[in-house]
Amino acid sequence: MIYKKVLYLFILTAVAVNITAQSISNIIPMPVRVEKLPSSKVKLTTNSVIYFSPLFEAQTQYFKELLAKQTGILLMVKAHNSSSSSSLQNAVLLQQDSTNIDRPEMYRITIRDGIVRMQARDVRGIINAVQTFLQLAPLKKSSTFLLPAVIITDYPRFTYRGMHLDVVRHFFPVSYIKKYLDYLAFHKLNTFHWHLTDDQGWRLPSKRYPLLNAIGSWRDSTLIGHFKDTPARYDGQRYGGFYSKAEIDDVLAYAKVLGITVIPEVDIPGHARAIIAAYPGLSTRPDTTWQVATTWGMYNRQNNVLAPNDSTFTFLQNIFSELCELFPSTYIHIGGDESSYLWWKRDPKTQAFIQEKGLKNEAALLTYFSNYVAGILREKGRKTMGWHEIGEGDIDTSAILMNWADDAKALEIARKGFSVVMTPGKPFYFDHYQSKDPKDSLAIHGYNPLEAVYYYSIIPQKIKDAGLDNKIIGGQANLWTEYIGSETKVDYMVLPRMAALGENLWSGEEKKNYKDFLRRLESSAIPRYRVWGSHFFRNYREWDVKKGG
């Protein structure tokens, strides 16, 4: 036992040798431009100092901590207000530059003459620079290491680069949400879509509607196996929880340091079973005692829609006001997907409402709900985001729509004037299988291997042919967690597919080279997954698009 402790301490001790940095050809996602310089390599030691512009103070502390974890070198940090760095030596400089850095999220790393200079005009840009620098630094402990003389100039192709996480079907603690944000930052993704409400639970705190937490945040049981299995089996265990305001503030503060926008989603008027379980009067059957859903696949199978009545619209006014108090993001996601018309058709009061308002049909009622909530958000100085279904009616084109359907649907909503985030089920649903191995762990359906994620065209040819390229603002991968009940399984489903997503959204189409991507993945990303203790999918080389059948 003593020997093991001594060995462990020895491994953690910084070794006083010159370790050469990682190759600049291994960076992922691939940078726009890398220029090797004839200058000698730059040495960083325990005596090096990090200097920072005031805007980047929090990011400097983040960088300092990550560098220490990775290399064992804990550097001193100092504010540096001067634009000149000629007197600095053996230093790292995080510098705000709004003159030479002329794009959002752009950064430049210059390594020469004894200085590492990271320049950006905004927080996202400097975080991108930090992530690239950490890929150059060695993944081993040392008291000093050498960096190549180089200039790296880099910026993203798309402004919206997102990852989604459903915390309703299965709930994840703040500690893991912050780790998930670390994953986003490493892969140069800038938006976290936090799916917080659905049929199986309500994960937000609410002062005005306490039963959302007392009742709506908990389900009596959870399905075992696939929802298509017969007979259905349940575990009989009460399951749930919700985030406190302090926990949400903690996540938002951490995301702010990383330059990541957090977009919350409250899904209405469908996917509302947890709401009507807490407040039956908001349903089309107010005389019914509803239960928070214990199964998946609710569409057209179980009643889960809000009724168009005064209580519901008051609820929406209050709950989205609370949401705006909790979250600072410009855009708020209102869901709008899979609103089953069946229950509205069967309800006389809903039919009377449709006639009273002069609505054509149930599809127009969905638009009515969407416009109502969009109006609430507009009064709060916010904007609307939703799934593509809300764009099928007459809603203001200032809303950003997420297209989870096919390219034809993307073209349809782009032609209407909407800005579109591409998040198609094939291949950007990471809850789908990444192998055809019958021994693989349970997933919902479909096959989205790493290669498919990498090669998917964010701007489909149909969009290009129509001259609507500018309507596609980016993309996002979604992780619905019906069959993902642990942090380990989340890791397994998103890694390394998140790396393919990140490069697809960051680098230009003309640079796509899957063979080289795999080389860089295995040189730079996979080693970090191992160091982080992340349980990534290891058989990605075995499964490609052709094996999908």
Rounded CA-CA distance 115/44 in Å is: 9
Rounded CA-CA distance 231/159 in Å is: 46
Average pLDDT over residues 48-55: 96
Which residue in 154, 198, 199, 389 is the catalytic one?
A: 198
Rounded CA-CA distance 199/62 in Å is: 37
- Supply the angle between the helices 245-258 and 174-186 in degrees, to the nearest 10: 20
The predicted-structure confidence for 260-286, as pLDDT tens digits, reads as follows 999 999 999 999 999 999 999 999 999
Residue 44 DSSP SS3: strand
Which residue in 182, 247, 338, 396 is the catalytic one?
A: 338
Rounded CA-CA distance 495/487 in Å is: 12
| Run of H or E including 178 | helix 174-186
The predicted-structure confidence for 168-210, as pLDDT tens digits, reads as follows 999 999 999 999 999 999 999 999 999 999 999 999 999 999 9
The predicted-structure confidence for 538-547, as pLDDT tens digits, reads as follows 999 999 998 7
pLDDT at 288 over 70: yes
35 is annotated as an active-site residue: no
Q: Look over the chain and give the mean of its residue pLDDT values, rounded to a whole number.
A: 94
The confidence band for 18, taking pLDDT boundaries of 50, 70 and 90, is low
In sequence order, the β-bridge partners of residue 120 are 96, 107
86 or 106, higher pLDDT = 106
The predicted-structure confidence for 332-377, as pLDDT tens digits, reads as follows 999 999 999 999 999 999 999 999 999 999 999 999 999 999 999 9
Give every strand in the sheet of 144-147, ordered side by side: 18-20, 144-147, 42-45
| Percentage of the chain lying above the pLDDT 90 cut | 91
Average pLDDT over residues 467-489: 98
What are the DSSP calls for 5-41, one per residue? Answer: HHHHHHHHSPP-SEEEPPPGGG-SSPPSEEEE-SSPP
Rounded CA-CA distance 72/415 in Å is: 53
Structural domains of the chain, with CATH = 13-154 (3.30.379.10), 160-421+454-485+499-507 (3.20.20.80)
For residue 495, give the nearest of 264, 254, 182 by alpha carbon: 182
Amino acid of residue 403: N
For residue 185, give the nearest of 248, 262, 91 by alpha carbon: 262
The predicted pLDDT at position 354 comes to 98
Please say whether the beta carbons of 465 and 151 come within 8 A.
Answer: no
- Tokens 């996917």, residue? 271
267 is annotated as an active-site residue: no
Residue 484 DSSP SS3: coil
Please say whether the beta carbons of 351 and 345 come within 8 A.
Answer: yes
The predicted-structure confidence for 211-221, as pLDDT tens digits, reads as follows 999 999 999 99
The predicted pLDDT at position 87 comes to 65
164 is annotated as an active-site residue: no
Residue 94 DSSP SS3: strand
**DSSP state for residue 42 in the 8-state scheme:** E
Helices then strands, each counted (H, E), the chain: 19, 24
Rounded CA-CA distance 541/496 in Å is: 11
What are the DSSP calls for 308-374, one per residue? Answer: -SHHHHHHHHHHHHHHHHH---SEEEEE-----SHHHHT-HHHHHHHHHTT--SHHHHHHHHHHHHH
φ, ψ at 488 (rounded to 5°)? -60, -40
Rounded CA-CA distance 187/361 in Å is: 44
pLDDT at 548 over 80: no
pLDDT at 13 over 70: no
Which residue in 271, 333, 388, 432 is the catalytic one?
A: 271
